[in-house]
Structure 1
Amino acid sequence: NKGFSKKSHTFLPKIFRKMSTQSAKERPESLQFPFLDDEDTISTLKESKTFLILRGLPGSGKSTLAQAVQDRYKDACKVISVDSYKITPVIRSTIPEEYSKVDEDLVDYCKREISVIVLDDTHHERERLDQLFDIADKYRYKVIFAEPKTQWRLDCLQLKDKNQWKLSVEELKKMKPSLEKEFQPMYFGWFLSKRSSEILRKAGQAFLDELGSLKAFKKESKYCMYRRILPSSYSVDEALTYFVKRPPGVLHCTTKYTEFGKAAGAEEYAQQEAVKASYGKGFTLAVSALFITTKTVGARVELSEQQLLLWPGDADKILPTDNLPKGSRAHITLGCANGVEAVQTGLDLLEFVKLEKAGNKGDQVGEIGGGKLLYFDNGMWMLTLSKKMDVKAIFSGYYGKGKLVPTQSTNKRGSAFSSCTII
Structure 2
Amino acid sequence: MTFRSKQSILVLFFTLSGNLFGLSKDEILRKGKELYNGAGSCVACHMPDGKGQKGTVPPLAGSDWLKGGSARSIAISLRGLAGPIKVNGKHFYSAMPPQLLFDDEKLAYILSYVNNAWGNKEAIIDKEQVAQARKELPQDVFTPETLLKRFPFDQKYNRKNGTFTPTFDDLVSQITEPIIYRTFMPGASPAAFAVALPGNHYFCWDAGECRLRYAWTKGGFIRANQNHWSSNGKPVAQFNGVPYYRARTTQLNDQTFDALSKTNNKQPIYDTSEATDFPITLKGAGEAPTYLGYRLVDGFPKFRYSMGKYVITELIRPNANKSGIQRTFTVSPTVETTLRLTPNSQATISSNRGNLSPDGTLVLTARESNEFSILIQPREEAN
Calculate the TM-score normalised by the size of structure 2. Answer: 0.26
Calculate the TM-score normalised by the size of structure 1. Answer: 0.24
Larger Rg: 1
Greater RCO, CA 8 A, separation 6+: 1
- Structure with bigger strand share is 2
- Structure with bigger helix share is 1
